[in-house]
Amino acid sequence: MGSDVYGVNLDIEDFEVLLSKDDLEEEPVPIQVFVTDKKYLGLEYPLSDIQLEIARHTTQVLKPETLVSLEGTEFLAGMKGQHYYDKYTVNEVICQLGKGSGKDHTSRISLAYIAYLMHCLRNPLKYYGKASGVYIDLVNLAVNAKQAQQVFFDPLKNLLMRSPWANDVGFEPRVQEIFWFDRPVRMFSGHSEAEGWEGYEVLLVVLDEISAFKVDSELKNDLRSKGSASVIYEMARASITSRFPRFGKVVLLSFPRFKNDFIQQRYKSVMDDLKEQRKKVAPENTGNKGALRERTCWALKAPTWEVNPTRERYEFDDEYARDPIMARARYECEPPEMEDAYFRDPETVRKAFIIKENPIEEDGTYKQWFNGANGHPRFIHIDLGLKRDRAALCMVHSPGAKQIKTSGGIETLPIVEMDYLRSWEALPYQEIDFASIRYEISDLARRFPVVSVTFDQWQSADMIQSLRSLNINADLHTVRKTDYDTLSTAIYDGRFRGYWNELLVEEELLRLKLINNTKVDHPTQGSKDLADSVAGACYMCIDNFISDLDVEVEILDEVDYDLLTDESIDKIKDALDEVNRQKKGVDRRPKQMPDELKDWLTML
């Protein structure tokens, strides 16, 4: 039945459309126009197809009747209003995107566009049923304060300050806040280490690099209740659901750090929902909306070069050559297992430890050439076993640098040579004689220009004090994953040169496990004393490498290791099996590589 309004006969639907148009003070432009038109953001490049889909799902905050009133306009790009509403209205956007795909860029544009839509509405508070005097809040949360400020919020402020539209309507950019003058809209920058933001009228929460947030297992007690990824996510969901149940959004943006980390769990939950309901699953890079229990979620996964139109796959070839496992995680969102082998390329590791010569004679004395005549600074790291029954020492130096081609161009990076490796193991029911370790260090300091001796934190205070009394620079240094990452990168680059030690290579390095992509540890029945000493020494050497010294840049000749086929590796292992290096005793100085193995490798 029609109604006569100002002499025009309208049915109920037409009347609702008329009222919906009244909600708009001006007709909004589409996102791509907002991005490229000089009146608005005036950026040179539009969003890519994938970035546009992410932005549409993130910014769809309009009622279906409002969208119907915009049918036939440029805003809907030929779509029906109800169809646009059904497709893009979600409460959660889950995006696994490769590093460098423009996650932050897309997120900044989305926040700016929502602020623009609020200005297109005549009265945003009335539109969403809010009382006067409150604000509509848009929040970006990052893993730490630096990420929140420098990577996201400062560029957002710069983006708005260059926008004629933003300057016309007026806004005030503060350190961690942006206030708009004409509409009750605020933007905030926060981080996972900060206090909660309960009490805000949150329409949008972006959890930036959610996979870098601490997981529950990394936090303890009250800290877990504040800063873990799951707690922050649940807080965000509860906040937007209670304030804006139809239009509030939590946006998860990240590349995964390990299999089944937080963003992978959320993505998998959407995919499982579709499979359980026997719904068709679209390609990952086009996105999928949940079917039943995840029906308000939209999930997408895509590699860097498919999201960012300015990047090509070949640009990352060097990163894949240096560390193929982490490259797949960073750029393709295909991370390693939560607990997996740390070194995934055993042959490359073995090759790195057949370049140098063992400096120890069969009788345990030093070889004549073992001295510091070349003048290169030496770095020593000692790992003292937790039970005082094991210890390991490694000394390294950098003879120069090697040019490495990376995605960022040609980099000059230090070479590291392993000079000396030694381990101690106490007899049953006895402890290591720390005096023998002090003597070993002081003897090395007499032969070489030792500039740094570092220890892990276990039982090392007395040792450090004693060495300092001998004018030897000694300090604490705890070996972490960053130390091993430094060592592995040097190995994969061909910048690490060591000599053969079966216990180090076969029993420790190649048995190391990567846990949660945050920790490197040994198997339950294994150890990593030697590995820790090598990683610690390598890290200190590279960390203290002085690039502006007159250091020769060496382009190393590539050794032809193509002959190391699977059959060749099997022969190496057979030869190694014949060597019994499990001899017990206080002094476990490694012997030279077996002659038959050395001869066989020489033939290669």
Give the C-alpha distances (Å, rounded to integers) separating 180 from 173, 186, 351, 386.
9, 6, 61, 58
Residues 6 or more apart whose Cβ sits within 8 Å of residue 441 = 380, 382, 393, 450, 453, 467, 472
Tokens 């004693």 correspond to 466
Q: Does the structure show a pLDDT above 90 at 487? A: yes
Q: Among 254-263, 404-413, 443-452, where is mean pLDDT lowest?
A: 404-413
Residue 187 has pLDDT above 90, yes or no: yes
Grouping H, G, I as helix, E, B as strand and the rest as coil, residue 339 is strand
How distant is the alpha carbon of residue 576 from its chain centre?
A: 37
The mean pLDDT value for 438-466 works out to 90
Residue 180, φ and ψ in degrees, nearest 5: -100, 140
Q: Please tell me whether residue 469 adopts helix, strand or coil conformation.
A: helix
Query: In the predicted model, is pLDDT for residue 64 greater than 90?
Result: yes
Q: Which amino acid is at 203?
A: L
> For the chain, what percentages of helix, strand and coil (3-state, to nearest 5) are there?
40, 20, 40
- Show the domains of the chain with their CATH numbers: 90-314 (3.40.50.300), 339-603 (3.30.420.240)
Separation between Cα atoms, residue 532 and residue 382, nearest integer Å: 8
Question: Mind listing the pLDDT tens digit for each residue in 292-301?
Answer: 999 999 999 9
Question: Tell me, what's the pLDDT at 21?
Answer: 63
Residue 261 pLDDT grade (very low, low, confident, very high; cuts 50, 70, 90): confident
- 307 vs 106: CA distance, rounded Å: 10
**Which pLDDT tens digit goes with each residue over 402-440?**
998 876 778 889 999 999 999 998 888 788 888 889 999
Lowest mean pLDDT across 203-212, 375-384, 458-467, 569-578 = 569-578
Rounded distance, CA 356 to CA 419, Å?
A: 8
What pLDDT is stored for residue 142 in this prediction?
A: 83
Mean pLDDT over residues 255-273, rounded?
91
Residue 601 has pLDDT above 70, yes or no: no
Indicate whether 553 pLDDT > 60.
Answer: no
E strand or H helix that includes residue 402: strand 401-406
CB crowding 570-590: b at 16 or more within 10 Å, else e: eebeebbeeeeeeeeeeebeb
Which tokens sit at 100?
């460098």
Alpha-helical (H) ranges within 121-208 are: 124-127, 145-146, 154-161, 164-169
Choose the weakest-confidence range: 65-74, 400-409, 502-511.
400-409
Give yes or no for residue 579 having a pLDDT over 80: no
For residues 483-499, give the mean pLDDT.
95
CA distance 517 to 512: 12
Give percent of the chain above pLDDT 90.
62
Beta bridge partners, 96, equal: 254, 301
**pLDDT reading at 309 higher than 70:** yes
Residue 42 phi/psi, 5-degree rounding, is: 65, 35
Give the mean pLDDT of 454-472: 87
Max mean pLDDT range (91-95, 198-202, 383-387): 91-95
Given a cut of 50, whether residue 315 has pLDDT beyond it is: yes
Length of the chain in terms of residues written? 604
Given this model, what pLDDT does residue 404 score? 87
pLDDT grade, residue 104 (50/70/90)?
Answer: very high
